[in-house]
Every structure is written in structure tokens, then in C-alpha cells.
Amino acid sequence: EQIALVTLIDEIVDRYTKEIVQKRLRINFTSQVKDALVPRYYSNLILDNVINNAIKYSKDNSELLINIYSADNHIVCQVKDNGIGIKKEDLEHLFNPFFRSDALNHRHISGTGLGLSIAGKAADAIGAKVLVNSELNMGTTVTVKF
Ligand code: ATP
Ligand code: MG
């Protein structure tokens, strides 16, 4: 079953209204492409986890950018936060089950460390790619290439 990517993102953002309001986050969602369809089940697993992380690890009162565009025949969704960031040496472990960064400023934020491993497996299932760029204390950009 397919779903419009913009609709899926609206649904996911709606799920986190409470957290978004509590942290006073501003969601800046733009789409360069109309009517891009993605497989609902796996795309939801990928983007729910990615957007959940962006919200959870961002700083209060910051902006979250979500942008959809197309690049060489692929639909791309980019989620950019101004959050705590991830240190370089942790990047290669992000998709391992139960991995959580041990950054000091991070211990009070709860999680299982399973979100991105699920996102990674879901991406494999539909031939999508999930790329993470990050700078500690500056923020993180996750690029999902469908
Ligand atoms: P869960 O998703 O089960 O609630 P989690 O968020 O800790 O737990 P993952 O989503 O797998 O687990 O992420 C793994 C780790 O990667 C996180 O614990 C965190 O250290 C780091 N991480 C992931 N996304 C971000 C982000 N946007 N900003 C900063 N750190 C992140
Ligand atoms: Mg997570």
C-alpha cells in the first residue's frame, strides 16, 4: 500500500504534537515535489523513528526542517534538527541494535537504542538509504533516499 509522502509526514508530525508543543519546536516542512508516493508500512517505520529522534534530541525552542525533493530520479526526505548532535566516532554505530550515544548531555533522554536499527532494516526492505550527518552540539541531518 502506497501513501503520499507529504501525508505520511503530516501524520507522523501529528503523533508528536505533545512533544513539539512542550519543547516549543517550530516545524518547517516544505516539499519540492507533489504526489510522491512511498510504501506506507516501511516508510512510516523509517520516518517515524527519524522524526522522533529529531524531536527528542533537539534543543527547546529550536527549528526542525523537513524537506522533500527529488534528486536523480529518487525521492529524498531530509530531516534537520538543531539538537545535541552526535560525535564522529558514534556515527558508524547508530544502526546497531541498542546503541545509544553516551554523551553526558544525553543521559536524561530515554530510549531503547532500537529506533534507528528498525529504520535501517525497514530501509533495506524497500531499497531505501538512510544517511546521517551530524556535528556535536550543532545538530543532525538525516537524509532518507527512497
Ligand atoms: P528509541 O528510538 O528506541 O527511543 P534511541 O532514540 O536512543 O531509542 P535510536 O533512535 O536507535 O535510539 O538512536 C540511536 C542513538 O543515536 C540515540 O540514542 C542517540 O544517541 C543518537 N541519535 C539518533 N538520532 C539523533 C539525533 N537526531 N540527534 C542526536 N542524536 C541522535
Ligand atoms: Mg530513537
Is residue 105 predicted with pLDDT exceeding 80? no
DSSP run (H or E) holding 119: helix 115-126
pLDDT digits (tens, 9 = 90+) for 6-17: 999 999 999 999
pLDDT band at residue 108 using 50, 70 and 90 as cut-offs = confident
Which residue's CA is minimally distant from atom 27 of ligand 1?
54
Is residue 1 predicted with pLDDT exceeding 80? yes
pLDDT digits (tens, 9 = 90+) for 124-146: 999 999 999 999 999 999 999 99
* Cα-to-centroid distance, 20 and ligand 2 (Å): 15
* Cα-to-centroid distance, 53 and ligand 1 (Å): 6
Closest to 144 in 3D by CA, of 76, 93, 68, 86: 76
State the sign of the Cα–Cα–Cα–Cα dihedral 102, 104, 89, 119: positive
